Structure formats: structure tokens, C-alpha cells
Amino acid sequence: MHHVFRLVLSLFAGLCFSAQAKDGRISLSTQDFPGILTNSGSYVLSESVVLTQAYVFAALSVQADFVTIDLNGHAITKKGGTGEYALFQGSDRHALHVRNGSLSGFDMGVRAGTAARIENVRVSDVNSIIVAGPGAHVRDVQGLGMSLEHAEPLLSAGAGSFLDGVLMAEGSGATSSGPPFWTLVGEASLVHRLIIQDLVSSQTTSATVLSAGMGSVLRRVQLGSLQSEKNLTGLSSSRGIVSHSSVDGLASVSGDATGIRYGHGLVREMQIRLVQDTNGAANASLEHAMWVDSQSTGFPFLPASHILETTRMARNTLNYGSLNVQGGGSALRDNQLNNSTNHVVFMSGVGKNLAIRNSASGNPLPMFSGGLPNGWAQVEAFPDVFFVFTNNPWANLQH
Amino acid sequence: MGIFSPVIRIYHSLWVALMGVVSAWAGAGKVEINQRHMAAAPYIIDQPGQYILTSALHVSDTNSIAIVVETSDVDLDLNGFTITGPGGSSSLSAIFQSSIYDRLRVHNGNITGWTGSGAYAVHALGLANTLEQLHVAFNAQGLLAGAQSVVQDCVVYSNASVSVEVVGIDVGTGSVVRRCLVQGLGTLSGNTYGIRGAFNVTVEDCVTYQINSPDNAYGIFVNHGGVVRNGAMRWVTGGNEAYGIYAGNAASLSGSAGGKVTGGVFASAIRGGDQVSIQFCAGVESGNGLELFNDGEILSSIASTNSQWGLLAASRSRIADSYAVRNGLAGIYFDGARGQAFNNDAAYNTIGYDFNGATDWAGGNSALANSGPHFNAPAGTRLGQTVTNPGLFFIETNSWANFILTD
């Protein structure tokens, strides 16, 4: 059969812009680029492609649904001039599958419509690596060398998407403009094993590193070594779950830095450290959230963690910071709060917050500050060995 | 610039002519299936082995299946191609395997246009099947796999308009569904299931989004012994009942979030039967938040801004270390006897804790700024002493006390 296949190829060599691979897929080579795919089908790169034209809209513009492009381990590279997209599919299309290769040197790696599948792809030297519609399935994707100078997110996926095994690193922006959301996923998305690190922006507008829509479930998200000129928030979401994640090294040069901003959901097993800014406003903000079993260790530059009303905060460790409880309806249980340079807990709002069985150490000032109708249990200071507090099992402890 | 379509058309016609002498892609040891086989559809696989599509398949006969599998141990690689059905009212599926054959693997492609009532993209009733990396769109239903199957990395979305029960992913007993998305599923009549599992099914890392039915709608349904982990279910709407997750008895539900789950009669973001464990879950903006029947537990979870109850359980169930906030009825509700509520917090609900049955136990809870009764406890409730507005630096000797803070 190979002989037959070779015969076919020889017959049509020179007649076709494209050829058929031995498994029936349509083979794409340098002569096909830049190109337009108008038919559904399964396409495979037979070689790496380098585009050097002054302007290219898209290396491949996909004007069909159900298109599979197997990069087959090859790369599509734009050198010199302008290339808007490596792979482009309009937002009214669906089911673009891209896999197994590299895209480099374009403004955007992949723009896809609904229900895209992008896997095992490396995208480098771009402004954005992927912008996909709802129902995207993105797995094992690396984005390296990104520019933070445009409004489009570095990575964006619509509602109900699934991101797993995505690494985004080494990005910078030297101008005052930049994306408000460096990474954006729509509501009810599932994000698993996402690493975003080593991004530095000079943008003078507020930015969020990862914004996940309502009801999203985020696990094993790691954000590290991130900096912006103005207000910078690490992770922002609501009405879902964040777990087994970390924000480690987040800085604002002249604005506020916030590790996590969350509402109406559940945050657990979350580590936040080295969140810093020059305004002294760096914080982890939990609004209407529940934060349990967290290990928020080491806040050497974190002066305050805000709880904005109706939050249950239980079994957390907070070091080198104070807890500012605003509004009412919050409960602080079984937290460990160490090395604050101020009061450990400020209850500054309308009250009706409760604090029981917390412990603090290394704090020069009284553990709590605030007034009625808040309630906190008696603070037992300097208990000795074999202490017995039979008169108050709810006591807060301070050493 | 390469304009493929006309060139490919010419090429294909010549290629197809030559393919008459080619029946198999021997180099890879795989048997080819391509469009010319559809002239006599269905293509019947009756020998074990590896099969691969070498072109897209279009079936125009409304009385035909594309591929029928009549043997066990078949690997069918769609090779990135699409199997397109005839549309219309035919209830036939693209790929069919009866229950007497096992171990079918279908992967790496798309299926669309199988739109008749009852049709699936893949209808594989045998044991131990594997369906993976499939995109399934604009069919009546999605993927059906028999017991002990694995369905993974699949996307099912935007089904055709039908007037019968609709299921996105349907698996038999002992199966696993993981990393799948089901989106935009509905029916004109009957129930809709985003993902449905029989007994002892595990569903993990899956999303169900926009699941609609005029009757009952389920984001994820697992029967007895099911496990659901890390699910995101949102916008599940039923004319009668709706559930983000509905689990039978002895299920384990964790790390999952349900929201915007609304029903004409009843709705819960997450609902479990007897002996069900719900841990680290969130139920928000729905009818009820998190709900289970007898002898179960809700631990370390949150219910927020639901129109009715936040966390609710029947007899002998335990709700602990959880938070209910801004729910329309009670934050925590027991509708049975001998339930346990320990170390919970309920804030800004209409009622903090509502112990409808007698003999429930409650201690170490807080009720903060609820608008109605903080603890609605009939005689017989084993309610630790309630301490209202204990003040600053309070001392309370009762380790089973419950706290109330009001204006």
C-alpha cells in the first residue's frame, strides 16, 4: 500500500497546495501558509513553517467547524513584520482542535470559537496565547514570553471551560497599557493545575492575574513572582471553590496588592505569602467567603487581611499581619494569628461578629480591637504548662 | 495563499478512485474506514483490532448507523475526523455496540447530526468501554457506555431539539467519567441529565452548564454509591425539579460547587440520599443549597444566597463546621429526628437554625444577624444553652453553648 501511496503523491506533487497523509488526513506544508481552511476535516503539519511576510492575518484561518489541526510536533513561527494569529477561528464557529506542537511570534497563538480543544501546545513570544469561547478544553499548554501591553488577556476561555496543566510564565510589559485581566475564565469553569509566574507589567491600570467567573472550581492554582505598577490582585472569583492553591510573591509598585479576592464561596488549603505594596494596603480580601484549613504562612510585608462581612474564617494561620473584619456576620474560629505589629483582629464594622478559640503570639498590643455588638471570648494570656480553663472553653489564647 | 477547498475536491475524487484497491492501512496495522464505506452503511466491525477513519463520514440515509461494532476488543480511532448523521427524526446512533460485546475504545474525533429522539452519538452498551477525546455536538444525546467504562476528556454540547429524555453522558455501574464538559443540553419533554451514572460511578473534574428541562433537570446524577469530586454545575433549570448534583444512597460528594439551580417545584444545588457524605462543597444562588436525607453528613461546606434552605438534612444526619449565609428560609434546617449540628455559623438568614423534628442535637453554633428566630427549636431539641450578645471578653462555661449576636 505504501507503493500505491507514493504513486499517488508523485502523481499529484506540484498540482496540489496540499496533500493527503497516509492516514487520510490532509497534510499541510510551507506552501499552504498562510492559508484558509474552509472545510471540516483533519489536518496535519508535515513540516515546521516559518512566515516572513510583512503582514499576515493568520497562518491558518479556520472558516469551518469540526477542524482538527495536528501540529505533529512541528512549529509555526512568524519572524519579522506582523502576524495577528497563528490559528484563527471566528467566535461563531465551534470545535477547533489544535494539538502537539509550537506556535511562536504572533500577536495571538490561537483564537477559537465554542468548544475548542487545545492540548500539548507551546505558545511563545505572543501578546496572548489563547482566546477561546465557551466550553473550551485546554490541557498541557505552555505560554512563554508574553507581552503585557495589550487589552486582550494572556489566556481567556469562556463559560464552562476546563483548563488543566497550563503554565504561563515570563511575560512583561513596558508601557502604561495592559490587560485588566491577565487570565480570564468564564463562569462554571474548572481550572486545575494552572501555574502563572514571572510576569511584570508597567501598566498604570488595575489588573487581576486570574479572574474566574462565578461558580468556578479552582484547584492547584499557583501564582508567583508577579508585579504591576498599579493595583494588582492575584486571584479573583466568587460562588465556587478554591483549594490547594497559592499566591507567592505579588507586588504593586505604586498601588494596592491583594492576594485573593473572593466572595460567596469556599476557600481552603490556600497559601498566601509575600503580598506587598508601597501603600501598606496589601491584603487578602475575603468577602462573604469561607476560608478553612488554610496555611497562610509568612506575610512579612502583609499588614492587613480584610474580611468584608459575613465570612467564616476557621483554622487558618496568619503571620505578620492583622485581620480587619468589616461589616457583620463573620465568625473567627480556631485561627492562629502570629507576629502582628498591631492589634491582631480589628472588628471595625457594624458588629455582630464572633471570635472564639483563636490563638495569637508575638503581638505587642491586645489581641482584639472593636466594640459591641461584636463578641469575643475572654483572652487568656500567658497560660503556663498544664493550664486549665474550665471556666471558659471558648477562650482565645494570647502568648 | 492556499485555498484548499477546490483543490481538495479534485484531489479527493482521484484519491477515492485509487482507494478502490486499498482496503487497509497496513503500515500501521489499522483497518481503514472512510466515506466510500458509507455507500453501504453501516460499516460493520466484526473482527477485533484497530480501526481508523481516513476521511470524514457522512451518512445521509436516515435508516442507517455509521459504524456497528459486532465484536469485542475494538479500538476505533476517529483520527480527528467527524461522523455526520442524516439529521431528521431517525433514532439511530452514529456508532452502535450491543451489550453482548465488550471493550470498545472510541477516541479522537467529532460526532454530529444524529438528531432523532433517543439517538446517541455513541451507543455502546457493552462492558469496559473507553470513550475519550470526543467532541459531540448537535445530536439528540451524547455518549452512552456500559458498565465499568471510562469516559474522559469529552465535550458534549448543544443537543438537537427533541421531545424525550435527554442524557449528555450516560454510563453504567462501576464506570468513571472525568474531565468532561456537558453544556447546553435540553429537551422539549422529559428529563435532562448532564451526566448520569448508575451504581458506584465516579464523576470527577467535570462541568455541567446550562442543563434545561420542562420536567426534571440534573447536572450530575449518580445512583447509590456514587462519587462526585470537583464538579462545577451551574444554570440547571427544571420546570419541575432541578439539581446540580443528585446522588443516591451512600454517595460521597466533595469539592463541588452548584449554583443557579432552579426548579418550578423543587431545586437543590446538591442533593444526596441516605448515608451520603458532602464535604467541602458550595451551594449558592439556588432553591436549596446542600441537602441530604438520613444518616449522612455535611462538613466544611457553604450555602449562600439560596432562595430557601441553606443546609438541610433529615434524621440522624450531621451538619458540622459549615456556614450558611443569606438564605431565604433557614440557614440550617433539620427535618427529622436526632440530627446533629455542631460548630456551624449561620448569618443573615431568615431563620438561623430550624429544628423541625424533635430530639436534634446542637452545640457550638453561632447565629449572627439572622432576621427571624436564630434557633427555632421545639421542645425535645437537645440545644446547648443559647448565649445572646455575650459581649467583649465574655466568659461562658458551657462548652455546648450556642451564640447569638444581634443588634
Residue given cell 452519538 in the structure block: B121
B184 Cβ contact partners less than 8 Å away, ≥ 6 residues apart? A135, B157, B158, B159, B209, B210
Q: What share of chain B is helix, strand, coil (3-state, %, to 5)?
A: 5, 50, 45
Q: Could you read off the pLDDT of A362-379 as tens digits, one per residue?
A: 888 888 989 889 999 999
Identify the bridge partners of residue B298 per DSSP, sorted by sequence position.
Answer: B278, B319
Interface test with A, best of B114, B233, B353, B394 (most A CBs within 10 A): B394
Taking CB atoms and an 8 Å limit, are A217 and B304 in contact across chains? no
Give CA angle at A254 (A249, A260), nearest 5°: 40
- Using CB atoms, pick whichever of A137, A215, A293 lies closest to residue B153: A137
Taking CB atoms and an 8 Å limit, are A265 and B282 in contact across chains? yes
Q: Please tell me the distance from the alpha carbon of residue A157 to that of residue A107, in angstroms, as a whole number.
A: 17
Task: Return the number of other C-beta atoms located less than 10 Å from residue B147's C-beta.
Answer: 20
Written as one letter, the residue type at A221 is V
A301 Cβ contact partners less than 8 Å away, ≥ 6 residues apart? A274, A275, A276, A282, A320
Q: Could you read off the pLDDT of A120-172 as tens digits, one per residue?
A: 999 999 999 999 999 999 999 999 999 998 889 999 999 999 999 999 999 88
ipTM of the complex in this document:
0.92
Taking CB atoms and an 8 Å limit, are A32 and B406 in contact across chains? no
- pTM score of the predicted model: 0.92
Q: Please tell me the distance from the alpha carbon of residue B130 to that of residue B146, in angstroms, as a whole number.
A: 10
- Cβ contact A206:B225 at 8 Å: no
Taking CB atoms and an 8 Å limit, are B181 and A159 in contact across chains? no
From the list B240, B350, B253, B260, the residue with the least C-alpha distance to B297 is B253
From the list A245, A253, A262, the residue with the least C-alpha distance to A282 is A253
Written as one letter, the residue type at A58 is A
pLDDT confidence of residue A280: 56
pLDDT confidence of residue A271: 85
Q: Please tell me the distance from the alpha carbon of residue B194 to that of residue B221, in angstroms, as a whole number.
A: 8
Tell whether A188 lies on the interface with B, counting CB pairs under 8 A. Answer: yes
- The answer to whether residue B346 scores a pLDDT higher than 70 is yes
pLDDT tens per residue, chain A (399 residues)?
343 333 333 333 333 445 777 789 999 999 999 999 999 999 999 999 999 999 999 999 999 999 999 999 999 999 999 999 999 999 999 999 999 999 999 999 999 999 999 999 999 999 999 999 999 999 999 999 999 988 899 999 999 999 999 999 998 888 888 899 999 999 999 999 999 999 999 999 999 999 999 999 999 999 999 999 999 999 999 999 999 999 989 988 988 888 888 888 898 888 888 887 765 556 566 755 655 545 444 333 344 677 777 888 888 887 777 788 888 888 999 988 887 777 788 887 677 999 999 999 888 888 898 988 999 999 988 777 777 777 889 999 988
- Cβ contact A328:A367 at 8 Å: no
- Cβ contact A314:A286 at 8 Å: no
Q: Please tell me the distance from the alpha carbon of residue A126 to that of residue B343, in angstroms, as a whole number.
A: 51
Measured distance between the N- and C-terminal CA atoms of chain B, rounded to whole angstroms = 73
Q: Could you read off the pLDDT of B106-159 as tens digits, one per residue?
A: 999 999 999 999 999 999 999 999 999 999 999 999 999 999 999 999 999 988
